Structure 1
Amino acid sequence: MRFDNHRVVVTAAGRDFGRTLAIRFAELGAEVLLSARSLAAAERVRDEIRGRGHQRVHAYACDLTDPASIRDFASGVAQRVDRVDILINNGSRYLDGPDLRSVSDDDVVDTIASGATGTILAVKHFLPLLLSSDKPDVVTMVSACGTAGHHRSDAHDAFYAAKSAQAGFTEILSRRLRPQGVRVISLYPPDFDNSDPLSPDWTSTPREATNALTAQSLVECILFAVAQQRDCFIKSFHFEQA
């Protein structure tokens, strides 16, 4: 499917999975409005996409731990476009370490703020633009760490807490926004292979060799979900862990 008539917002698109998503949507014709914590990082991805021949891409700074920065991001997008069709909540700081005491208090606050508070405020401030669309979707990259009983990741407790908050938020958001025509789609991947599927040598290591979920597969899940007719509501993707 092409996305020529879609306007897509991607948070934390300065590198890794967010960058891959921004490039793929641009390649499929969407107008992409991407953010990164620093404007320079967002502009690098914007310029890379334009260098690939796709000009409808715009870069913004957005620190998901800072409410004012999120408001400014949404306001800046609203000055450029009159609607957003897809909001992808990709931003969330990963924090490693199974020992609760192994990180600083600031690390804990930053992790929970970026994943939990940042997601909530992004949806809040982009909601008017989403409701102006006739095909609004909110996609959130949660994590298997946000599912009850999951314990197979080496992520820090604060990351588990942030993802559990995201899961609870998207659950109630789905119920409350569906009557307004907004689909809320959540992905719950385990730790996955986040190597760049757009690099020239990505296929040199067959996925069968590692049996690990890849970023490319997650991108395809998102594209599949948002491409469905509006009567098809794919609420979530859960994955068997290798």
Structure 2
Amino acid sequence: MKVLVTGAGRDTGRLLALAFAARGAHVLATARTLAAAEETAALIRTAGGTAESAVLDLADPASIAALEVDRLDVLVNSGARYLGDTAGPEDIADTIAGAATGTVLLTERLLPLLRASKAADIVNLISAAGEPGQHRSEAHAAFYAAKHAQAGYAEILSERLRPEGIRVISLFPPDFVQDGPRETGAELTAQAVVECVLFAVNQPRDCFIRSLHFEQTQHFEQRAPRP
């Protein structure tokens, strides 16, 4: 199995790349800088897995067009810039270009390779910010806009690709932490999200899990509303 992970240079994207490699996949780790991508690939190789690295800036169509991929079984769209409360015009444009336009352009470019696979999956790490009517993330409104666009694309893509046997799996986690206790009442961790991805991908091919949604922690729900 060959897996391409976007945003694999750090945090959740890196955890996803390491997790797939640990289960025997050959991973193409991509990131905005070659150094970050290669660091992830080196970690995989040190652990006994196989990996390669490549530069991929989802906010730049030319970078997407220049990416070299010979075959592919699983595309993991995890690269997206989080945007907090304070953001300027360039930050907003970059976030929407990467999470929305970039994800669509990359997926469309790689569809012929996925169609050639006998067991293809497209995994989208979206966000609760992409759920209709949800306001559970404290992210900037532009992040919500980008994630709603990503969710809309994934929804119709799942419907159209299912007859071909290609699964489109989308996850809608709330804001989560990279590390923390794995216990009831604690905030969702990146490792938990990674394990949900692996669970969905490892299901038999007759099982099409279109989306995974998460309950928010009580800690978040009980925060005082902003004035």
Give the TM-score taking structure 1 as reference length. 0.87
Show the counterpart of 1:177. Answer: 161
What is the CA-CA distance between 1:118 and the residue it aligns to? Answer: 1.0
Q: 1:60 aligns with which of 54, 58, 66?
A: 54
Deviations 1:52-105 (A, max 9, x none): 122x200000000011101211xx112xxxx311100001100000xxxx4211
Letter of the 1:232 partner, please give it. Answer: C
Q: In structure 2, which of residues 17, 21, 25 is the aligned counterpart of residue 26 of structure 1?
A: 21
Aligned counterpart, 1:230? 205
Give the number of aligned pairs. Answer: 217
Moved over 3 A (4+): none
Q: How does 1:105-144 map to 2 (within 5 A)?
A: 105-144=89-128
User: What is the alpha-carbon distance in structure 2 between the residues aligned to residue 181 and residue 164 of structure 1?
Assistant: 25
Q: Distance in 2 between matches of 1:140 and 1:206?
A: 25
Cα distance in structure 2, aligned partners of 1:85 and 1:208 = 33
SS at match of 1:208: coil
| Structure 2 counterparts to residues 134-213 of structure 1, below 5 A | 134-195=118-179, 206-208=181-183, 211-213=186-188
> RMSD between aligned alpha carbons?
1.1
Which residue does 1:93 correspond to in 2?
A: 81
CA distance in 1, matches of 2:173, 2:122: 17
Which letter does structure 2 place at the counterpart of 1:9?
A: L
| 1:32-51 Cα distance to aligned partner (Å, 9 max, x none) | 01100011110111112111
- Confirm or deny that 1:70 pairs with 2:64: yes
Q: 3-state SS of the aligned residue for 1:185?
A: strand
**Counterpart amino acid of residue 37 in structure 1:** R
With normalisation by structure 2, the TM-score equals 0.93
Q: Percent identity?
A: 56
Structure 1 unaligned residues grouped into runs of 5+: 1-5, 196-204
1:13 aligns with 2:5: no
Amino acid at match of 1:219: V
- Structure 1 SS opposite 2:183: helix
Cα offset for 1:209? 7.2
C-alpha displacement of 1:210: 5.5
| d(CA) in 1 for partners of 2:182, 2:21 | 25
Q: In structure 1, how many angstroms separate the alpha carbons of the residues matched to 2:35 and 2:54?
A: 9
Cα displacement string for residues 104-129 of structure 1 (whole angstroms, at most 9, x for unaligned residues):
11111001001000110110111111
Question: In the TM superposition, what is the alpha-carbon distance from 1:208 to its structure 2 partner?
Answer: 2.5
